[in-house]
Amino acid sequence: MKRLAVEHLEVRHGQLQAVRDVSFHVDPGETLALIGANGAGKTTLLRALAGAHLPYAGKVLLGDRDITQVPSYQRVAEGIALVPEGRRLFTDMSVEENLLLGRHARRAGDWSIERVLDTFPNLKPRLKARAGTLSGGEQQATAIGRALMGNPDVLLLDEVSLGLSPAIVDRVYASLAGLINSGTTIVLVEQDLDRALSVADHVVCMLEGRVVLESKAADIGRDRVTAAYFGLGTPQPAEALP
């Protein structure tokens, strides 16, 4: 069964069509990289998946359940967790307190503070520190850990490398590798093509709100992704997702 599916989704900001007739799916345990230039519609699409922006048309399916009109707070309980761009931590609260907030969904599962710390060991010495005093990489790890504490079926990650130094991005992605290997289903928005291709099972490239390329990551070269990213023609996918 597909873990998450999007069918002919359209999302608008007023009269602006930010997402246009987008369809794809993610199987359990897979990582899908959603790539594209600024303004391509990636973040709007991710927010629509999380329920923060209800679509104008189309469907969002979680397993066999249609959650298209389900509000964001209920989607967390259904099993979708969003790590937003900018992390949005409670900066006056400790790392531990931020992590514990992730339990409010009360979903059954194996994620605990101990498991989060095993996944992101850089947080261990910072557990009692205020989130506002953390480095960018530590804040990103805390934001991801908070989402995982809700035991989601699907983890949505929006620009995890944004604003971080290359060395810190290396650390974040090293930790993500363990998360991916654990079988977590992930939809990752990332502008760094090399990073995206290094962790993804599938790639969806968007341009002006539409999907212009969709393929297994292993079946596609960087040149074709770059061409789609910048709108240099409309390449056909090496193997489209059914």
Does the pLDDT of residue 105 top 80, yes or no? no
Q: What is the mean pLDDT of residues 59-87?
A: 92
Which listed CATH number (2.40.50.140, 3.30.300.90, 3.90.480.20, 3.40.50.300) goes with 4-229?
Answer: 3.40.50.300
Digit-coded pLDDT (tens) for 116-174 = 999 899 999 999 999 999 998 899 999 999 999 999 999 999 988 888 888 888 888 88
Digit-coded pLDDT (tens) for 11-26 = 999 889 999 999 999 9
Q: Which of 95, 131, 87 is nearest to 113 (CA)?
A: 95
- What ranges do the domains of the chain cover? 4-229
The DSSP bridge partners found for residue 213 are: 205
Q: Which of 112, 189, 97, 188 is nearest to 150 (CA)?
A: 112
- Least confident residue range of 24-28, 114-118, 179-183: 179-183
What value does the mean pLDDT of the chain take?
89
Strands 210-216 and 202-207, bridge-based pairing: antiparallel
Q: Are 198 and 169 in contact (CB under 8 A)?
A: no
pLDDT category, 233, cuts 50, 70, 90? low
